[in-house]
């Protein structure tokens, strides 16, 4: 494989932090004979005024004191007597401040000092509203953008993250990006009223308390309590919520309402406690599903929340200027200090620039030896993928079509004609003439009756329905009978299905039918397209690629999805979903089943297993290595596969890094295939890289972060980047490259498909028959 790459220069949203040359920091030590941490703390409390008088500005770490000022004459005497420690029962304790040295350029304490100073100035942006325990997101509520037509307002702000340097010769950095908070003109009480009788759906949503502009995630609903319920105040006295809010915030409260519960974490001891909130005093935040499905509303909102690269860079520079000018006021001591200026700390307004590489996407392989050049900007994938497909299965499928009487015979006839023409053009003859059933209304009972009749007819002919198409009124995935159609298809018929809403077919019907046919091919085990130029390391040996994702949503049961490839083109999948138990304990069984499915298809076990694990942040990596990796190894051990290598790659879509191309001119989004692996940015020795795989024409593209957490293979640093990018083109619900590799995206689709619809209370569980799983088809896209 000869993979072409192109070097490109990028701007980032990383800004270097440094101490100005010639601005020293001095190290002192608080000296007490036979000192203990408790005595040191007592000494700091007692002698803080004297230390401030000597140094003006200082910072303490353990028993060390750091300051940009040197005490007059101390370089000769080496120490300064402060006095004796009060209230000591034992011998008199003498406290002195001892001069140690001027800190060297690369002294380890400098990073701690810089981190503390940055934290101080960020915390003191009192003109902004801080969100989150770390306060990394700050918003200018004074710059509110109101959208009355959408019943909401948008607060502009910034996300500000301090990154210490893991390498001695690199400076620490501040990562700054635009952030936005959406507040709806709706109280939590109004939201509860609209959700009845399913008020539990409010759990997990984020609200803002209107009286002090603090944000909380709702953890529960306490219907047994109301504003007249009592709690103990700080003095240990019983007081009603109504009285408390009236006295402290001058708020009048509607008496008949339940209370909301939220969990808050203590700033000092990390302890968690439950608090109660009044729904009428809470404002709802974020977008609703209805808003997301409203094209005009989203267009208007996106004009604000998806700023250009130039706007983001300008916002970062303005915020840096605001930080540099920040004065920290101490009311108790009546002092005002420009902290960064006094310490000689500078945040560079000009961003860091790095070298990156652009990977070659290669060619998309279609049927009849057609190749589509993905490098060529003139290649029209939308049109050119609608004439032929890489592989269509040879089987003949009995297909049922269920349509609503409102859809009409004429519309059905038109759809079937387009469907037949598309099949002929694609040379795709898997579908026999569909058997149509007309629903007289859009009730679930009527749907069940028509499907029973369809199944009965098939049984009488000693055959089975292999695929179902539903033509329904309503919105995509929000059609009234969507869930019923899917559960009956999976659980009763054991087949894949396609739900098409009538509104979809009102547009360019032929083009829509072509796209539907591409999906249908993937849903019955076909391959709409493949890619050339896959790394030889993974094509010269049998290789299985897996995607793992977990669905978690308040009020819903968590789901684990495990999707693994079973062919050489990495286009067909064996898909598993786990709905109960401790998920990490199921991974061994999942990988074992995946290996057996691979062998069943290709008559050989894979030599390489690449596992992409989605949704793993920095704090979870140790847990993944400690609990998930051993499970995978145990699966290999049980099948006695000693020569199979495992590579575990974690991917994280929620990153703050941004990258821009454009040199001296207008900043733009980097092209798909851009890889950033410069250690100034990744801050690690491990194989870690940012990949921009998708094309974004609006706003600023967000990269995905990948890290090889473990690998038995050597020399995969470049090949894993190429493989990852190539896999982003193999998602058959979109003609182009997506944000994450297809195996991960399919796992995401599967666990969300089940998670959004599964309910323990349902008589017919929203789960696929084992027969459907063993068909190895993408029934959930």
Task: Enter the tokens of residue 438.
Answer: 């007309």
Across the range 253-258, mean pLDDT stands at: 92
Binned at pLDDT 50, 70 and 90, residue 713 comes out as very high
Q: Which percentage of the chain shows pLDDT scores above 70?
A: 96
Nearest to 182 by CA among 203, 207, 210, 159: 207
Which residue is associated with the tokens 């998670």? 755
Tokens matching residue 201:
């759906």
Q: What is the pLDDT of residue 333?
A: 62
The β-bridge partners of 326 are none
What mean pLDDT is predicted for residues 500-512?
Answer: 77
Query: Average pLDDT in the 621-643 region?
Result: 93
Per residue in 549-603, pLDDT (tens digit) is: 998 877 778 899 999 999 999 999 999 999 876 777 899 999 999 999 999 999 9
What is the model's pLDDT at position 687? Answer: 95
Res 366 pLDDT > 60: yes
pLDDT bucket at 508, cuts 50 / 70 / 90: low
pLDDT value at 477 more than 70:
no
State the pLDDT at residue 190: 95
User: pLDDT tens, 528-537?
Assistant: 999 999 999 9
Q: Determine the average pLDDT of the residues in 749-778.
A: 88
31 and 97 Cβ atoms separated by less than 8 Å? yes
Output the CA torsion sign for 72, 77, 83, 84. positive
Instruction: Quote the Cα angle for 71-76-77, to 5°.
Output: 80
In three-state secondary structure terms, 126 is coil
pLDDT of residue 606: 97
State the average pLDDT over residues 462-487.
81
pLDDT above 60 (res 292):
yes
The DSSP bridge partners found for residue 402 are 437, 470
* Residues whose CB is less than 8 angstroms from the CB of residue 281 and which lie 6 or more positions away in sequence, other chains included: 187, 209, 210, 211, 245, 251, 253
- 82 pLDDT tier (thresholds 50, 70, 90): confident
Q: Which of 244-248, 454-458, 720-724 has the lowest mean pLDDT?
A: 454-458
* Domains delineated in the chain: 26-102 (no CATH), 392-523 (3.40.50.2300), 535-774 (3.30.420.10)
Instruction: Look at residue 339 in the predicted model and tell me its pLDDT.
Output: 86
Q: How many CB atoms lie within 10 A of CB 449?
A: 14
pLDDT tops 70 at residue 170: yes
Higher-confidence position of 580 and 299: 299
Q: What is the pLDDT of residues 757-771, one digit of tens each?
A: 888 778 788 888 888
Question: Is the pLDDT higher at 220 or at 585?
Answer: 220
* Confidence tier at 90 by pLDDT (50, 70, 90): low
H helix count then E strand count, the chain: 22, 39
Model confidence band, residue 271 (pLDDT cutoffs 50, 70, 90): confident
């Amino acid at each position: 494989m000869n993979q072409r790459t192109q070097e490109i220069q990028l701007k980032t949203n990383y800004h270097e932090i440094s101490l100005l040359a010639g601005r020293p920091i001095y190290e002192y030590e608080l000296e007490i004979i036979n000192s203990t941490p408790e005595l040191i703390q007592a000494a700091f409390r007692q002698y803080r005024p004297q230390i401030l008088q000597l140094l003006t500005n200082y910072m303490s770490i353990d028993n060390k004191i750091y300051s940009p000022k040197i005490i007059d004459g101390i370089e000769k005497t080496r120490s300064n007597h402060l006095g004796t420690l009060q209230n000591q029962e034992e011998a008199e304790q003498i406290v002195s401040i001892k001069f140690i040295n001027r800190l060297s350029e690369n002294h380890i304490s400098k990073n701690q000092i810089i981190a503390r100073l940055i934290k101080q100035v960020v915390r003191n942006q009192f003109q902004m509203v801080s969100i989150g325990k770390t306060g990394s997101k700050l918003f200018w509520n004074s710059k509110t953008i109101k959208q009355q037509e959408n019943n909401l307002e948008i607060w502009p702000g910034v996300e500000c993250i301090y990154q210490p340097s893991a390498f001695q010769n690199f400076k620490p950095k501040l990562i700054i990006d635009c952030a936005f908070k959406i507040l709806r003109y709706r109280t939590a009480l109004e939201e509860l009223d609209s959700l009845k009788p399913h008020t539990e759906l409010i759990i997990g949503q984020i609200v803002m308390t209107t009286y002090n502009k603090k944000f909380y995630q709702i953890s529960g609903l306490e219907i047994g309590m109301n504003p007249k319920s009592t709690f103990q105040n700080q003095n240990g006295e019983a007081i009603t919520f109504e009285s408390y809010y009236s006295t402290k915030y001058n708020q009048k409260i509607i008496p008949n309402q339940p209370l909301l519960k939220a969990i808050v974490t203590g700033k000092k001891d990390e302890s968690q406690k439950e608090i109660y909130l009044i729904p009428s005093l809470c404002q709802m935040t974020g977008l609703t599903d209805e808003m997301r499905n409203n094209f005009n509303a989203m267009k208007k909102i996106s004009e604000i929340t998806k700023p250009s690269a130039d706007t983001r860079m300008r916002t970062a520079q303005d915020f840096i200027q605001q930080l540099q000018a920040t004065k920290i006021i101490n009311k108790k001591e009546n002092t005002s200090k420009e902290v960064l200026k006094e310490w000689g700390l500078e945040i560079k307004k000009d961003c860091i620039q790095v070298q990156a590489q652009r990977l070659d996407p290669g060619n998309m392989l279609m049927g009849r030896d057609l190749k589509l050049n993905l490098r060529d900007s003139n290649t029209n994938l939308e049109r050119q993928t609608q004439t032929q497909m890489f592989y269509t299965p040879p089987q003949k499928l009995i297909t049922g079509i269920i349509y609503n009487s409102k859809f009409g015979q004429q519309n059905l006839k038109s759809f079937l004609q387009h469907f037949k023409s598309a099949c002929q053009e694609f040379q795709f003859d898997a579908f026999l003439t569909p058997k149509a059933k007309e629903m007289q209304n859009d009730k679930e009972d009527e749907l069940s009756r028509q499907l029973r009749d369809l199944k009965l007819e098939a049984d009488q002919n000693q055959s089975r329905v292999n695929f179902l198409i539903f033509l329904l009124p309503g919105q995509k995935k929000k059609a009234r009978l969507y869930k019923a159609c899917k559960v009956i298809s999976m659980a009763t018929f054991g087949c894949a299905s396609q739900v098409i809403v009538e509104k979809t077919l009102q547009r360019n019907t032929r083009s829509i039918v072509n796209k539907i046919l591409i999906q249908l091919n993937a849903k019955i085990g076909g391959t709409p397209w493949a890619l050339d130029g896959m790394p030889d390391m993974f094509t010269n040996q049998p290789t299985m690629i897996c995607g793992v994702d977990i669905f978690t949503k308040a009020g819903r049961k968590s789901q684990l999805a495990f999707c693994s490839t079973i062919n050489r083109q990495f286009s067909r999948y064996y898909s598993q979903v786990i709905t109960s138990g401790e998920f990490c304990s199921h991974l061994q069984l999942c990988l074992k089943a995946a290996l057996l499915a691979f062998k069943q298809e290709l008559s050989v076990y894979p030599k390489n297993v690449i596992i992409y694990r989605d949704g793993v942040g920095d704090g979870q990596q140790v847990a993944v290595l400690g609990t998930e990796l051993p499970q995978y190894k145990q699966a290999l051990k049980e099948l006695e596969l000693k020569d199979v290598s495992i590579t575990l790659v974690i991917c994280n879509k929620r990153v703050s890094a941004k990258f821009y191309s454009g040199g001296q001119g207008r900043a733009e989004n980097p092209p798909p295939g851009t890889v950033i692996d410069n250690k100034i940015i990744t801050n690690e020795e491990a194989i870690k890289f940012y990949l921009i795989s998708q094309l974004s024409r609006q706003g600023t593209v967000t990269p995905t972060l990948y890290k090889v957490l473990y690998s038995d293979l050597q020399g995969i640093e470049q090949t894993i980047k190429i493989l990852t990018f190539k896999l982003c083109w193999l998602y058959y619900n979109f003609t182009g490259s997506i944000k994450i590799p297809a195996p991960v995206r399919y796992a995401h689709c599967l666990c969300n498909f089940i998670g959004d619809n599964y309910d323990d209370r349902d008589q017919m569980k929203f789960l696929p028959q084992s027969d459907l799983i063993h068909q190895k088809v993408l029934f959930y896209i």
